């Protein structure tokens, strides 16, 4: 990995902390844009009360410097990131009732088995999706790097429970991103959005939770990122792992991968054509989701993620009180009802991080200035970039 990050912090502790290592020097970060992404992550229908308490704002205390007339830029050093938890003020001096009955679906039981916790809150606090706030900061920094190379990322919700948005294939991706941002379900189709809202409302009234599917799209990625030569260099697999690492994500597919299983190969694989210029190879379809052999094709990268219903359910669930050894019902603590609209922003962040890493691996370079000419000289899917030997050939091993 050329780019790495670590996060630390508990949901109700004083701060979230992260370090991003490997960013090249010379990138002028837009802090206001980072805070706008943090606000996006906080807004989405189906949230619990916590989002009314937090007003996430980033503090960057290393790796990004400059004063006076010079624009502040990344130094190439590790970037230190902090977001305060405003809710901490309420928890700081409170005596907190023990949690001894694990919630099905949360990390309460598995965390206690693994770490030997005598208090289940220790698992809950770190497993919480509160941590995704710092991931959004990291992802936005990565997006700002990718923007320098005209690579952009957006996302939207495609289903909530059984309500699905059947997006017209001719609706452009920028139009989908813009339409999704016009509502707090983050769904590009008005009709589906209203049905999704009604469904989430009904789920909340029934004291339950609901999951869904969202799609993250990266536009402008050059062909040739990732590699077929080794399992851990396949960029599609790296994207599945990074998006799959988001709390409550239980499935990730590249393009319509599961739907493709129901169609013959002749209907799935994106045929190759010559564009009008007689030079550029192009496709009229993108069933591959932007990847062949773990390498980008140059088509839009499509990552789809399945989010399970939130595990903290207002209706008590059957469990066992580990303190008494008796069957018991779970005790509810404030939570979200549907986090799918907000998870889109986190999905974008993880895709941005993974693509930025891949671009840095491809281009090398310690500064933005070094990367730019290397990017401009990348081989593209043009005949002139792909000269063939076109002669008889032998393996010729020793």
Q: Which residues bind ligand EPS (CB under 6 A)?
A: 11, 48, 50, 54, 87, 128-130, 132-133, 312, 333-336
**Rounded least distance, CB 47 to ligand EPS, Å:** 7
CA distance linking residue 140 with residue 34, whole number of Å: 6
Question: Nearer to ligand EPS by C-beta: 11 or 297?
Answer: 11
Question: Nearer to ligand EPS by C-beta: 85 or 183?
Answer: 85
What is the biggest distance separating any 2 CA atoms in the chain, rounded to whole angstroms? 79
**Rounded least distance, CB 133 to ligand EPS, Å:** 5
Integer CA distances (angstroms), 214 to 121, 159, 172, 365, in order: 30, 7, 16, 34
Question: Nearer to ligand EPS by C-beta: 218 or 310?
Answer: 310
**Rounded least distance, CB 351 to ligand EPS, Å:** 19
Question: Nearer to ligand EPS by C-beta: 22 or 244?
Answer: 244
Please say whether the dihedral angle defined by the alpha carbons of residues 259, 262, 263 and 268, taken in this order, is positive or negative. positive
Question: Quick check: 246 and 350 in contact, CB under 8 A?
Answer: yes
Task: Give the closest residue to 213 by CA, choosing from 271, 252, 267.
Answer: 252
Question: Nearer to ligand EPS by C-beta: 101 or 335?
Answer: 335
**Tokens read off for 11:** 């949901």
Question: Quick check: 126 and 16 in contact, CB under 8 A?
Answer: no
DSSP 377: T
**Tokens read off for 191:** 């009709």
**Rounded least distance, CB 350 to ligand EPS, Å:** 15
**Rounded least distance, CB 53 to ligand EPS, Å:** 8
Q: Which residue is nearest to ligand EPS (CB)?
A: 50
Question: Nearer to ligand EPS by C-beta: 22 or 48?
Answer: 48
Region of 186 on the Ramachandran plot (φ > 0 left; ψ -120 to 50 alpha; else beta): left
**Rounded least distance, CB 237 to ligand EPS, Å:** 26
């Amino acid at each position: 990995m050329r780019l790495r990050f670590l996060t630390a912090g508990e949901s109700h502790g004083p701060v979230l902390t992260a370090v991003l290592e490997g960013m090249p020097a010379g990138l002028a970060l837009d802090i206001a844009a980072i805070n706008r992404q943090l606000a996006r992550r906080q807004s989405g229908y189906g949230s619990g009360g916590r989002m009314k308490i937090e007003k996430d704002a980033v503090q960057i205390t290393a790796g990004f410097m400059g004063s006076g007339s010079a624009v502040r830029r990344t130094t190439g050093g590790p970037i230190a990131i902090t977001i305060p938890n405003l809710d901490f003020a309420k928890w700081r001096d409170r005596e907190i009732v023990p949690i001894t009955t694990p919630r099905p679906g949360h990390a309460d039981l598995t965390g206690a088995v693994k770490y030997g916790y005598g208090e289940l809150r220790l698992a809950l606090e770190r497993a919480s999706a509160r941590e995704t706030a710092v991931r959004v900061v990291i992802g936005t920094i990565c997006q700002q790097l990718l923007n320098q190379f005209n690579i952009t990322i957006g996302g939207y919700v495609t289903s909530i429970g059984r309500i699905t948005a059947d997006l017209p294939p001719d609706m452009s991706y920028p139009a989908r991103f813009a339409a999704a941002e016009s509502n707090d379900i983050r769904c590009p189709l008005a009709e589906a959005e209203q049905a999704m809202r009604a469904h989430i409302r009904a789920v909340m009234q029934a004291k339950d939770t609901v999951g869904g599917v969202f799609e993250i799209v990266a536009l402008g990625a050059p062909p040739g990122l990732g590699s077929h030569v080794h399992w851990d260099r396949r960029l599609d697999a790296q994207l599945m792992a990074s998006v799959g690492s988001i709390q409550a994500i239980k499935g990730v597919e590249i393009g319509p991968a599961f739907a493709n299983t129901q169609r013959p190969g002749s209907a799935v694989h994106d045929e190759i054509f010559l564009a009008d210029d007689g030079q550029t190879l192009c496709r009229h379809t993108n069933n591959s989701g932007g990847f062949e052999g773990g390498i980008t094709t140059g088509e839009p990268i499509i990552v789809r993620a399945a989010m399970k219903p939130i595990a903290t359910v207002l209706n008590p669930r059957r469990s066992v009180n580990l303190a008494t050894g008796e069957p018991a019902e779970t005790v509810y603590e404030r939570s979200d009802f549907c986090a799918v609209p907000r998870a889109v922003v986190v999905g974008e962040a993880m895709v941005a991080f993974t693509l930025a890493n891949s671009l840095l691996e491809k281009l090398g370079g310690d500064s933005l200035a070094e990367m730019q000419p290397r990017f401009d000289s990348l081989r593209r899917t043009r005949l002139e970039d792909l000269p063939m030997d076109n002669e008889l050939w032998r393996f010729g091993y020793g």
